Amino acid sequence: MFDPATLVFTFFTAQCAGTVALTAVWFINRQVPGIGCWVLARAVLGLGLLLFLLRIEIPLAASALISTSLVLLGHFLAIAGSRRFMERPQLPLRWIVLFFAVYLPVLGYFASVHPDSAIRHIVVSVALAGVSFLNVWSLWPDRDSVVRVSPRVMAGIYAFTGLLYVGRAGYQFSALAGHPLIDPTTDIVLVMLEGTAASVLIASTYITMVTEHLQADLRQQAETDPLTGLFNRRAFDRLAQRDVQTARRHHDPTFLLFLDLDRFKSVNDRFGHLAGDRVIVGLAETITACIRDTDLSARFGGEEFAVLLPRTSLDSAKTVAERIRQSLESKTFEGEGVAFSVTISIGMAALDGGQDDLSGLMRRADRALYSAKEAGRNQVVIAPRPVESGQQVA
Q: Is the confidence at residue 353, as pLDDT, over 80? A: no
CATH fold, domain 233-388, is Alpha-Beta Plaits (3.30.70)
**Positive or negative: CA dihedral 205, 206, 209, 211:** negative
CA 260 to mean position of chain CA atoms: 33
Residue 336's pLDDT is what? 85
More confident site: 336 or 264: 264
Q: Using CA atoms of 313, 314, 317, 322 in order, give the dihedral in degrees to the nearest 10.
A: -150
- pLDDT, tens digit (0-9, with 9 covering 90-100), for 299-312: 998 999 999 999 99
Q: Cα–Cα distance between 128 and 143 in angstroms, integer?
A: 28
3-state secondary structure of 229: coil
Active-site positions read 303
pLDDT reported for residue 278: 95
Residues near 41 by Cβ (< 8 Å), separated by ≥ 6? 74, 75, 76, 77, 78, 80, 81
The mean predicted confidence, pLDDT, of the chain is 88
Domain boundaries, the chain: 4-223, 233-388
What does the pLDDT look like over 190-206, one tens digit per residue? 878 888 888 899 999 99
Q: Each residue of 45-94: pLDDT tens digit?
A: 988 887 776 665 556 666 778 889 999 999 999 999 999 999 999 999 99
* pLDDT at residue 48, rounded to an integer: 86
CA 152 to chain centre: 12
Confidence of residue 6 (pLDDT cuts 50, 70, 90): confident
Q: What is the pLDDT of residues 161-218, one digit of tens each?
A: 999 999 888 877 776 766 666 777 777 778 788 888 888 999 999 999 999 999 988 8
Of 5-9, 258-262, 332-336, 373-377, minimum mean pLDDT range:
5-9
Structure pTM?
0.74
Mean pLDDT along residues 280-299: 95
Task: Render pLDDT for 236-274 as a digit per residue (tens, 0 to 9).
Answer: 999 999 999 999 888 899 999 999 999 999 999 999 999
| Right CATH for 4-223 from 1.10.12, 1.10.10, 1.20.1070, 1.10.20 | 1.20.1070
The secondary structure of 10-65 as a DSSP string is HHHHHHHHHHHHHHHHHHH-TTSTTHHHHHHHHHHHHHHHHHHHTTTTS-HHHHHH
